[in-house]
Amino acid sequence: MTAPRIGLALGGGGARGMSHIPVLEAFDQLGIRPHAITGTSIGSILGAAYAAGRSGQEVREIALELFADRNAVLASLWKLRPKKLTDIFTGSTVTFDPLKVLEAFVAHHLPETFEDLEVPFKAIATDFYGCEEVVLESGPLLPAIAASIAIPAVFRPVKRNDRILIDGGVANPLPFDRLPADCDIIVAVDVVGGPVPRADREAPTSLDTIFGSSQILMQSITQQKLKQSAPALLLRPENDNVRVLDFLKTRQVLEKAEDLRLLTIQRLTQLIAELEKNN
């Protein structure tokens, strides 16, 4: 029997998305390369790196190195701040250019185009004015990922082919339905999470409210999708106090997500055995 075609969908969720990494390591430990990968927001960054041929361990090392030094991270972001006074504020929030952020932090870890990837990969974004999901799968890679991660209130929208694109999680936070129809097994990793209270505050901050509302909406979208069809393996890290922008907690997120690696190995092994038995 030929090796099963396994599709991998990596959802959006900000810093909680580092929980994807132990799942990638589980694939490596089992000696499996995905048949195809889809990614939304943070899932598009990690999915592209894995599709480019990086191992899960390499992705872990890159993530830990990027966020090991708080001062270095903040200094890099300070350099990337909008320089013109008229560009600093959009409404009432400071917004960064997502492409420049990617160029500063991860560009040298990724190839230039989708066509350079070793595994077929799709990044999910949202057409702001068109009010619809956009699947990006060809051409320059970094601008596509920039569109996929363009979280409102944090990043500026990205213009691509006369469309204004924002974070893919707005339309499709868990894109398992964008994997090829010929996948034998679909694995989806949902890292959206939900709002969590702050110990030192009775009420959420304005930013907490914005991000928490988005999490609630994304959960609703995913719940409706799961009623129509479901992946063979749905993985979710524990909901905890890690918020969307808590990337400096990367090591903590990885430690807590270790159970996902073990669960992925166990369940995927069972699914493959069942598939082989039935065939």
Catalytic positions: 41, 167
Contact partners, residue 260, CB within 8 Å, separation at least 6 = 19, 22, 23, 26, 189, 235, 237
Cα 82 to Cα 86, 93, 126, 172, 206: the distances in Å are: 9, 12, 23, 29, 22
With 0-12 CB in 10 A as exposed, 13-18 as middle and 19+ as buried, what is 190? buried
Are 124 and 136 spatial neighbours (Cβ–Cβ below 8 Å)?
Answer: yes
For the chain, what percentages of helix, strand and coil (3-state, to nearest 5) are there?
50, 15, 35
